[in-house]
Chain A
Amino acid sequence: MLKAEKICKSFGDNTVLSDFSHEFKSSAVTAVLGKSGCGKSTLLDILMGIQQPDSGNVIRGSERLSVLFQENRLCENLTASANIRLVTGKRIPKLQIAAELATVGLEGIENSPARTLSGGMKRRVALLRALLAEYDILFLDEPFKGLDEDTKQLVMNYCKEKIVGKTTVFVTHDISECEFLADEIVRL
C-alpha cells in the first residue's frame, strides 16, 4: 500500500509540490512524468520517508524498499559486485551477479572498484543493485540517465523483465520510458 495525501513541499519561496495526492497501484509500474526541477525526486524522497513533507501524509506499511537514487550512491571503494552484495547478501552468488552485470553490457567488471567505472557503468551497477534487492516497493529515480541509446534500450528491456508485476514507482522526464515501462502515468 502506497498512498500520498495532499503532499505540499517548498524550499524557501519555491513550491515544488502542491497538494499532490495519488494512490499508487500495487503490483503495477507507475511512472511520474515531469520536467526537470518540478519536484519528481523530492516526491520520491517523501514517499520513501527520506524527506518530510511540509503538510500532507504518506500512507505506507512496513514494506521493504529498494531504490535507485538520482546520484547512484555506490560505495566507491567496493567492487561492482560487492556493491550489489552489500544489499543482497550471499543470497545471490557472485557468479550470478557477474552474469546479471553481463546482461546489461557490463561483462568482466564485477571485480572493478566502483571508483574506476564510468558514469554510465555506475548507473547500471546502481540499477542492478536496486533490481536485485529483496523488496516490496521499488523506487527508481531517472533510471536510464546518462546511458547512450543502444545501452538504454538494452537496460530498459532488462528492467522491464525484472519489474513486471512488482510495485514500482519511477520518475522520469522522458515520455518514451513511461510508455515502454509503465502501467500508469502520473504527470507532475
Chain B
Amino acid sequence: MKKALMIAASVLAWLILWQILAMSIDSRIILVTPIDVARRLWELIREEKFWKSILFSMARILLGFALGLTTGTILAVVSGKVKFIRILFAPLISVMKSIPVASFTILALIWIGSKDLSVLVSFLICVPIVCANMLEGIDNLDPNLEEMSRVFKIPFGRRFAGVYLSQLLPYFRSASRLAIGLCWKSGVAAEVIGIPSGSIGERLYMSKVYLETADLFAWTTVIILLSWLCERIFIALVNLLQRRIERM
C-alpha cells in the first residue's frame, strides 16, 4: 500500500512537472499539457475508428509475438538437443539481435507489403530474445534431476511438467516479458514506416504530418497502456501455469 502510494505520488509529480513545462513553453505544437492529452484521448475513445485501429495493430503484433514465442522456443529446444542446429542457427540469431528495426521493416515491406508488416517485424524481434533466453534455461537444466527422473522412471508427462517446465518457466517468463514490450515498440515503429491503412502506426504518422502533438501523445499513451496490459495478462497466465506446476 505504501509502495503504491509512493508510485502514485511520483507519477503525479512528473505530471505536474510536465504541465508546468508545457505551460511555460506555451506552444501546442512543441509540447501539449497532460490535460490536453487526456482531453484528446477522451475524444478518441468515443470514435469507432480508434478501436478499429487498436484491434488492427494489436491482433498483428500479438500474432507476431505468439509466432515468435513458439518458433523461438522450438528453436531453443532443438538447438539444446542437436549441436549442429545450435551452431547452424547461432550466427542467424546474433544477426537478428543486431539488425535495426528500420532495416527489418524495409525488408519486410519489400517481401510482404504493408498490411501485415507488424506481424513479421514482431516475429523477427521476438524469436532471438526467446531463443537466447530459453537456450540459457536449457543449458542450466539440472542433470541430476534428469538422472533422478530416469531412476524413478517418472512418466513423460509428469517429468515434462515437474522437471523441465518447472526449471524453464522463469526463463520463459523473463523472455516473454522482454519480448512483448519490444514487439509493441517495433511493431508500431514498423507501422509508422509502412503506414498500413487503419493501424495505430498510421494514426501516429498522421499526427506527425498534421503536427497534431496532442494526438501523438494520446496514441503514445494508448500504446504504453496496451503494451503494459498485454504484458500483465500474459505474465499472469504464465504465473498461473507456474503455480499449477508448483503444486502438481
Contacts and interface: CB of A to CB of B under 8 A. Distances in A.
Interface residues of B, number: 24
A50 B151 contact: yes
A119 to B, nearest CB: 16
A164 interface: no
Contact of A82 (B148, B152, B155, B246): B246
Interface residues of A, number: 23
Given A65-B152, A67-B152, A73-B148, A86 B248 contact: yes
Given A82-B247, A86-B248, A113-B246, A75 B153 contact: no
A105 interface: no
Contacts of A75: 145, 162-163, 166-167
Main secondary structure of the interface of B (DSSP, over half): helix
A170 interface: no
B7 to A, nearest CB: 28
B245 interface: yes
A69 B162 contact: no
Contacts of B148: 67, 69, 73
17 contacts: A48-B151, A65-B152, A67-B151, A67-B152, A69-B144, A73-B145, A75-B145, A75-B167, A77-B169, A78-B162, A78-B246, A81-B247, A83-B162, A86-B162, A86-B163, A89-B158, A111-B247
Given A81-B247, A83-B162, A86-B154, 6 more contacts: A69-B144, A69-B148, A73-B147, A77-B166, A78-B162, A82-B245
Interface of A: 48, 50, 64-67, 69, 71, 73, 75, 77-79, 81-83, 85-87, 89, 111, 113, 133
